[in-house]
Structure 1
Amino acid sequence: MADVARRAGVSSQTVSRVSNGHPGVVESTRSQVLAAMQELGYRPNSAARALKSGQFRTLGIILFTLSTTGNVRTLEAIATSAAAEGYATTLLPVAVPTEGEVRGAFTRLGELAVDAIIVIMEVHLLDAAAVSLPPGVGVVVADSDAGDRYSVVDTDQKGGASDAVRHLLGLGHGTVWHVAGPEESYAAQRRADAWRSELQRAGRDVPPMLRGDWSAESGYRAGLRLAQEPGCTAVFVANDQMALGVLRALHDHGRAVPDEVSVVGFDDIPDAGSFIPPLTTVHQDFAEVGRRCVESALRQIGDAQGERGTTLVPTRIVVRESTAPPPTD
């Protein structure tokens, strides 16, 4: 810093103010200092900054899998939002969702010095792992049920699933079948509960629920069973990847979509409009979920006990060509 100050003809304090983005520096002086930094290859020492300010300007992210579209898009949104706020992100994937793995991930993030942690996994794993954090390190949980123990940012799972069922019933279908996500998934459970409640509220029969694992392959297996149900004219699938498998299975068995069977997904992945037929689905605003997660994490820095409760990000149904009224014959 002293070398930069000499090269720019300013004080070390001015160099410090420029490197920290302080607004109270004349623009011509700022340009001189930045030019001197570039000439000398100067980079501010983040460790020294952290010692002085007590903040590392880094958010830790723990998540179970990168194989699902929802997790990847949420992670991308968090990283983008954090960067816009001047924060770096440190990612620790948990290969196997066990108590020891989750506890180890929190320990490693504590050692790597982060200001707050965003968790993208089922909250029961946090409870089971009995995690301990350094004082002042807050936790935000994305798409899970943490009650008032942590700050939560979640998509409106119930509202989205209810909209999907109401859309199909509104087209005239007598009932709606459901392909749910894995049993241990909070999001899958919320969507399944809403599907069942909406049918019961409408006084309709509730068909047996089929279950997949979020993959197109599991959707295909469920679709093979649905194709053999002559009374099945409408299906709500808990995510778009499984819906893709359902569409293929129905096609393979000669069940036309939407002329014979209507299909609705959940997520609105970028390729949903390119399915055959283009998929009606529930849109999740992953960018907004990521932004809200970062906002909550930043509010907790220095006051980890001050942020609790759940923030719900609204969904909306996107109607495409995979849904239509039921066959009349």
Structure 2
Amino acid sequence: MRNLLLAFFLLLFAGVVSTSCNKLYDDTIHRNTLEAIKLDSTSLHMFVGEKRQIPLTTTPSTYSLDSLNWISSDTAVLSITDMGLITAKSAGTSTVTISNLDSTLSATVLVNVTDEPVDSLQVGLIAYYPFNNSAADSSGNNYNGTTFDVLPTTDRHGNSDAAYQFNGTNQYISTTTAYPAANLNNFTYNFWFKTTTTTGGRMVGFGNAQTGQSGNYDRHVYMSANGRVNFGVYNGATQVISTSEGYNDNAWHNVVATLSPSGMRLYVDGALQGTLPAVTIGESYTGYFKIAYDNVNSWPNQPSNFYFDGVLD
């Protein structure tokens, strides 16, 4: 947590540790008017790196949040600002106490912080890219990516250099090791994106060329110019599931696309967008995974640009 600078009496209290966000000034008017503090829940679960506002209401509702004391019992696990924004720093538990300035009213919430584990993914993990200022594969399978002019940026949790920004012109990531498509008839893509693109682009997929446009290409998730998300597999013909609405709204969205013996499925933000139960295999060739670029020519709802313009995490 960044150090907080008190607006008043800074010189008098410069030595006070600020991570618990105790208020050191008199606020008699606020102190005397607060009637109740009500938490939406007495316990929370967070992943390391996540940021969240403490969910509470005050009576009166106009009572200023920065006139409360916010105290984390373990600041190594959880830090908190003077407006109630908590940041999960490491695995563990911390009790957050919220009170008025003279502690006549208070409420507590227990926060359990855990790592966001790779081993929570399904057995058979092929590659995992946390994008922590690197395109290295953290699965241990060594399908490391090569970055082409990409820039690290802030991820969905507000962490710096923990996602990648792509410009929609020449930036993408490609794996350095080829993979046989015969082993890709039971797989899942799971990623987050944020974009305002009006030209669309390929977000992730498989193709036979490590660089440039592939001649064989499928098992891909791409966005149409209108912001709709498409999941495509080729089994002798193009098979595509498409969303009914656009997602180029500059908000974070989660995509899960899966091919298995049960068919194709596409989810956006946890909601099932469609299924193709009869499609259980894709085209057979050896290829590479590419992120934010590759050929989508002749596919339904083809984007006007094959390069994706947006953030991927």
**Is the shorter-chain TM-score for this pair beyond 0.5, marking a shared fold?**
no
More helix by share: 1
- With normalisation by structure 1, the TM-score equals 0.31
More strand by share: 2
Higher RCO (Cα < 8 Å, 6 or more apart): 1
- With normalisation by structure 2, the TM-score equals 0.32
